[in-house]
Structures are given as C-alpha cells and as structure tokens.
Amino acid sequence: MARTKAVSGRPGLDEVVAEGIREKILSGTLTTGTHLVEADLGQEFEVSNGTVRSALRHLQNEGLVEFRPRRGMFVAGLSAVDALELCSLRNSLEALAAELAARNLTDEDASRLKKTMEDMRRAVTRRDKRACMEADIAFHRQIVAMSRHKRLIQMYGLLESQIRLFMTLTEPMHSDLFADMIPLHEPIADAVLSGDAAAAAQLSSIHNNPDGKALARHMAAEAPEPEGKALRRAGSRR
C-alpha cells in the first residue's frame, strides 16, 4: 500500500502527488472542467488510486478541484462571483497584513522584503513570466508573515492556491505584465518599509481591484444565462 503519511518531516506521497497536480492546474496544463480520473493519475505518478484520492481531497479543500456527484472530480474554475469574493477577501487580508507589517517592522523584516523586491526586479529585467509570478506570491506571503498574526497567516495559507489560480487567470489580462509588476508592488513595499501603516493598508486594500474586476467581467461574459446576464447588469451599476 502506498505511504500517505509524512515521515521524519518529509511530505507523504499524497502531498507529493497533490503538488504535482496543483502545478498542472496553476500552469494551465489541466484546464477548468478537466475530469481527473484516479486510475490515469495513479499511472502517471506511479502511485495507488487511494493515494490519488487523498491528494485530490487536499486540492478540493484548497478549492482547486470539485466533486460532481456520480461523475467524479474535476478541475474547478472561478465564476464571476468567485472572482469578486476572492478579490475582496484578498484585499481585506492583505490590507491588515500590510498594516501590521508596517507596525511590527524589524531590521530583518526590512532586509527580507528588500530582497523580495530585488528578486522581482531581476525577474522583470529577464522578462521571465514564471519568475514574476513566483515573486508576486512571495511578496504577499512575506508581508503576511511579517504581520505576526497567527490566524491571518493560517487563513492566507488556506487561500494561497486560489490566489495563485487568480494570478494565473488574470496574467493574460495585463497588456504588459513586466511593465505593471514593479509599479503595483513598490508603493506597498515603500509604505511598509517606512512604517506608514495607514498607507500600507490603504494601498493593499485596492491592490487587487483592477485584476478582480477584469476577471469578473471576463467570467460574466463567458457565463451562461441567466448568471452571466445578471452579473453583467450588476457590474454596469457599479
């Protein structure tokens, strides 16, 4: 039987398989609506169906896959409502994190955040899209960690896979991702590093709005009636 529990601090097989499937979803290799067949995945990763089943449960808890009765597991997508909810929740969590990070700033925190920004600049200079995306999530993860708010850190961790999916889906909506990357993040970093908690919170509270609204409009346009029509009407009133 395949081992599925972590031993000596190492991830179990189910966690390794979950990471493999997660990366396929976030890279777009497995697209929304793809049927995830246990036997096929077991053969691909050379593990038992039980290990795949456990891996898919991890991803279901993260919101990346969904169970459809009598049909099985499928790659989940984001609806327009999902996009707006995720955007507003991210804004709230990241605003609180940035405020606390600015208030709790240490020399070590400052050095780490500056290094994260340097990594982002190098990724932009190389025009490395994958590195930019990784630097983006690392930036927000770093500020959340700097908040030293245990429950906020836990909540953000639970959402991280959905946040990464959000970033993957909104990346094509940027006319020039490389031109946008530093101007979107540097003001937040500067506010945190200067200890300006109010500015850090305010900037973070609106940081995701353009992407969230663009994704919601796209999803509403793609949605079948009546959901798409209702959401488009709601959007036009904003």
Between 75 and 232, whose confidence is greater? 75
Confidence of residue 132 (pLDDT cuts 50, 70, 90): very high
Confidence of residue 234 (pLDDT cuts 50, 70, 90): very low
Cβ 221 vs Cβ 159: under 8 Å: no
- Please state, in angstroms and rounded to a whole number, the distance separating the CA atoms of residues 66 and 76: 5
Which residues are within 8 A (CB) of 130 and not within 5 positions of it... i.e. 6 or more apart? none
Residue 2's pLDDT is: 38
Cβ 142 vs Cβ 116: under 8 Å: yes
pLDDT exceeds 70 at position 216: yes
Between 38 and 26, whose confidence is greater? 38
Between 231 and 17, whose confidence is greater? 17
Between 234 and 155, whose confidence is greater? 155
pLDDT exceeds 80 at position 33: yes
Confidence of residue 4 (pLDDT cuts 50, 70, 90): very low
Burial of 202 (0-12, 13-18, 19+ CB in 10 A): middle
Per the prediction, the chain carries an average pLDDT of 88
Between 10 and 53, whose confidence is greater? 53
Nearest of 97, 81, 113 to residue 203 by alpha carbon: 97
- Please state, in angstroms and rounded to a whole number, the distance separating the CA atoms of residues 30 and 55: 15
* Residue 62 backbone dihedrals phi, psi, to 5 degrees: -85, -10
Residue 177's pLDDT is: 86
Residue 200's pLDDT is: 98
Residue 77's pLDDT is: 78
Residue 224's pLDDT is: 65
Residue 169's pLDDT is: 85
Q: How many CA atoms lie within 13 A of 37 on its CB side?
A: 4
End-to-end CA distance of the chain: 55
Amino acid at 42: G
**191-213 pLDDT, tens digit each:** 999 999 999 999 999 999 999 99
As a whole number, mean pLDDT of residues 139-162 equals 95
Confidence of residue 10 (pLDDT cuts 50, 70, 90): low
As a whole number, mean pLDDT of residues 86-115 equals 97
- Please state, in angstroms and rounded to a whole number, the distance separating the CA atoms of residues 152 and 93: 7
**For 6, left (φ over 0), alpha (ψ -120 to 50), or beta?**
beta
Residue 198's pLDDT is: 98
